[in-house]
Amino acid sequence: MTIAPTLRPIGATALLALLSACAVGPDYRAPAPSDLKVPERFLAERPGAEIDLARWWTSFDDPVLTQLVDKSLAANLDVAVAGARLRQARASLRQAQGGALPSLSASGSVSRSIGNDGNTYVDPSTGQTISRGGDTTIFRAGFDASWEADIFGGIRRSIEAARANAQSSEANLHFTQVSVASEVGLNYLAARLAQVRLDIARRNLATQDETVEIVGWRVQAGLVSSLDLEQARQLRANTAATIPNLETSYNNAVNRIAVLLGEAPGAVNGLLREPQAVPLPPEAIGAAIPAEIVQRRPDIAAAERTLAAETARIGVATAQLYPALRLSGSFSGSDTSLGDLPSAMIGNLVAGITAPIFNGGQIRAQIEGQRASADAALATYRQTVLTALEEVENALTALTNAERREREVIAAAEAAENAVIYARSQYRAGLIDFQALLESERSLLSAQDSRASARADRANATVQLYKALGGGWEAAPIPATALSTRP
């Protein structure tokens, strides 16, 4: 007859363990590449080896660009915000994990009564009778404990959601680093392009000043009409009018770089004051297959982890339909001797079950709403994947076409330079009219400007490709705001 009492607790323990092993709600499975409509390769496939994307800016072989991007990854304020949100998400994960553990609190006090009335009194906290013969010191202590048995997995689903949310925040931090690095690169290229175009405009302006002077002499000599002089002045004024806009473009790009570095506008003016050509990117740049892009891009990882979190929250909402078992206990006691206090402790243990009976369909409405959130997260994930593939396709096409255009523009600029040399020589000899000289000078300015822009377009397309491929975060430092501030 002693077997049954032994089996009952074992059976209850086994039942509790079995129930604890299950968790209501759907188990998350990441969508397969076939479900995301990921192709096997890009349409705009390019030959060439893929470079180290972790520090793609070093491939331009420009020390100033490298310095600016490295500093931005360490000091950019958007990165600092993303780091703080990551720390916040990790704190929420620890909070969710703590919900699965028992909670324990303690209290204690010491009181002293002075006087000798020879009477006794009953301690209201414990019900003990204590003598008040003379001065009396009373020690009190208490402990409270509580724990909720996660029978249907609601707490575990909360932890699962919090963990996925923290991983999504980490991926968002990496994507912010990718965006900052590319934005610094694009603004640096814009600043260098503005410097080159300013130099072209100023050199042409100086040449056109000479032309105005020569034409003025010829007018005075009666060799040409005043129409030639006015046309020369018009061309000179149009060239001069482009300079303020180019200076504005340069200042905007430099100021933007300063802000990206967490500095006030003007902080990097000295570093970029010396004009330089637009840095050249590597000649042959290939792209990975689409499936590798899906695995590498941080924004895709963030969207996938958000989907996992929303799926886990379905289980959190579903668990509210089922009973909840809570265990609580308290222990307290008082005595006039600190050494006798443990023996004076008394306590109680309470087990309570709560279950929803009627709540107007609120819980099921909450579950349905959470399922809708998960569906939205899935659609967002799919859209993020397709957008990433689109960005890579567009960047590959833009880079290929920029290379083709640059080759033709270089040839056109060389021809325009030769044409101006011949036109000036023939005009001085009186072999051509002034209109032909003006057209050749206009063509030269346009061709030189186009050559500088074509070079910058190729560099910009390269940076956009690096960003589309998801490079630039692997070697970035961890922001200080992402680190715990606990001692």
Burial readout 44-80 (b: 16 or more C-beta within 10 A, e: otherwise): beeeeeebebebbbbbbebebbeebbbbbbbbbebbb
> Is residue 71 over pLDDT 60?
yes
Give the residue-averaged pLDDT of 268-288.
85
- Nearest Cα neighbor of 285 from 44, 43, 47, 457 is 47
Torsion angle of alpha carbons 426, 427, 433, 438, nearest 10°?
110
Radius of gyration of the chain (CA): 38
Which pLDDT score, from 0 to 100, does residue 127 have? 59
Residue 10 — very low, low, confident or very high, per pLDDT cuts 50/70/90? very low
At position 171, the amino acid (one-letter code) is: A
Which pLDDT score, from 0 to 100, does residue 115 have? 55
Torsion angle of alpha carbons 395, 399, 404, 405, nearest 10°?
80
> Is residue 302 over pLDDT 70?
yes
Q: What is the pLDDT of residues 207-227, one digit of tens each?
A: 888 888 888 887 888 877 888
Contacts of 110 (CB under 8 A, 6+ apart): 137, 138, 139, 140
Q: Considering the chain, what percentage of its residues have pLDDT values greater than 90?
A: 42
Which pLDDT score, from 0 to 100, does residue 87 have? 94
Residue 129 — very low, low, confident or very high, per pLDDT cuts 50/70/90? low
Q: What is the pLDDT of residues 466-481, one digit of tens each?
A: 999 898 898 899 999 9
Least confident span in 8-22, 130-144, 224-238: 8-22
Q: Residue 136 forms beta bridges with which residues? A: 113
> Is residue 487 over pLDDT 70?
no
CA angle 340, 341, 342 (to 5 degrees): 95
> Is residue 123 over pLDDT 70?
no
- Nearest Cα neighbor of 261 from 204, 183, 323 is 183
Least confident span in 223-227, 230-234, 411-415, 454-458: 223-227
Least confident span in 85-99, 422-436, 448-462: 422-436
Residue 247 — very low, low, confident or very high, per pLDDT cuts 50/70/90? very high
DSSP per-residue codes, 268-323: THHHH-S--PPPPPPS------HHHHHHH-HHHHHHHHHHHHHHHHHHHHHGGGS-
> Is residue 453 over pLDDT 70?
yes
> Is residue 322 over pLDDT 60?
yes
Element (H, E) at 104: strand 103-113
Residue 164 — very low, low, confident or very high, per pLDDT cuts 50/70/90? very high
- Nearest Cα neighbor of 65 from 179, 181, 188, 176 is 188
Three-class SS state of 472: coil
Which pLDDT score, from 0 to 100, does residue 11 have? 47
Residue 335 — very low, low, confident or very high, per pLDDT cuts 50/70/90? low
Which pLDDT score, from 0 to 100, does residue 68 have? 96
Which pLDDT score, from 0 to 100, does residue 169 have? 96
> Is residue 12 over pLDDT 50?
no
The most confident of 15-29, 108-122, 148-162, 213-227, by mean pLDDT: 148-162
Residue 222 zone, left/alpha/beta (φ > 0; ψ -120 to 50; rest): left
> In the structure encoding, which two tokens stand for residue 310, read together?
């929303």
> Is residue 412 over pLDDT 50?
yes
Helix boundaries (H) for 48-76: 63-75
Q: Report the alpha-carbon distance of residue 421 to residue 233 in Å, rounded.
A: 20
Domain 23-103+151-322+361-482 coded CATH 1.20.1600.10: yes
pTM: 0.84
Residue 6 — very low, low, confident or very high, per pLDDT cuts 50/70/90? very low
- Nearest Cα neighbor of 457 from 398, 393, 397, 396 is 398
Residue 339 — very low, low, confident or very high, per pLDDT cuts 50/70/90? low
Give the residue-averaged pLDDT of 324-334.
78
> Is residue 436 over pLDDT 90?
no
Which pLDDT score, from 0 to 100, does residue 361 have? 86
- Average pLDDT taken over every residue of the chain: 84
> Is residue 132 over pLDDT 60?
no
Greater pLDDT, 3 or 109:
109
Contact assessment for residue 159 and residue 100, using Cβ atoms and an 8 Å cutoff: yes
The domain spans of the chain are: 23-103+151-322+361-482
Give the residue-averaged pLDDT of 29-37.
84
Strand ranges, E, within 337-478: 346-354
Q: Report the alpha-carbon distance of residue 283 to residue 218 in Å, rounded.
A: 49
Residue 1 — very low, low, confident or very high, per pLDDT cuts 50/70/90? very low
Token look-up 């400007």 returns: 449
Q: What is the pLDDT of residues 178-208, one digit of tens each?
A: 999 999 999 999 999 999 999 989 988 888 8
Q: Report the alpha-carbon distance of residue 209 to residue 199 in Å, rounded.
A: 15
Residue 351 — very low, low, confident or very high, per pLDDT cuts 50/70/90? confident
Which pLDDT score, from 0 to 100, does residue 141 have? 72
Give the residue-averaged pLDDT of 348-373.
86
